[in-house]
Amino acid sequence: MVSGSRSPLIVMRDTRAWQLQVWVSFGLAVFLCATGLAYLPGQALDRAFMVMGYVFCLSTVFVLAKAVRDQQKAQRTGEAETPMWRFVVWGGFAVAMGLTLWGLLRMQIDETYKAYLGVSWLYLVTSAFTLAKTLRDRHEADLIETRRVTAAAEEQ
């Protein structure tokens, strides 16, 4: 408890088990995608396109997750947001997902292989969103605790 009538600040953190699950899930998704892309039948150009698509999707997931969180913070604090940035972020994510899907559908490979690549790709995207949220939550909890320790030290 800090002082007088103020109630204690409780910082909620993810459990170690959750953090482990998130990292294992993300690592597994990366492994499954890498395995599928490494053994992708067909031309080298198809493999290169798909690798670029997966990396593009992965990077836009992290940017989009941050942009959504920043938008939420801006609404809470009343800060102005840049509408063009939102358009760029969402547009980049849509282009990344669309081009990767287009590349996957147009490849001349077995449907079962396409299904494997599609499922592993969606697993990668969803696990990356979860990882981004987990990392951001940890960062915000660290900031809150640092502010609390600093405020307590200043009071003494």
pLDDT in tens, 65-108: 999 988 888 888 888 878 899 899 999 999 999 999 999 999 98
Domain segments of the chain as ranges: 16-146
Quick check: 122 and 17 in contact, CB under 8 A?
Answer: no
CA distance linking residue 69 with residue 134, whole number of Å:
12
Return the H-helix or E-strand segment holding 79: none
Quick check: 6 and 140 in contact, CB under 8 A?
Answer: no
Q: What pTM does this model have?
A: 0.83
CA distance linking residue 97 with residue 44, whole number of Å:
21
pLDDT in tens, 96-145: 999 999 999 999 899 999 999 999 999 999 999 999 999 999 998 888 88
Q: Is 4 left (phi over 0), alpha (psi -120 to 50) or beta?
A: left
Return the SS3 of 51.
Answer: helix
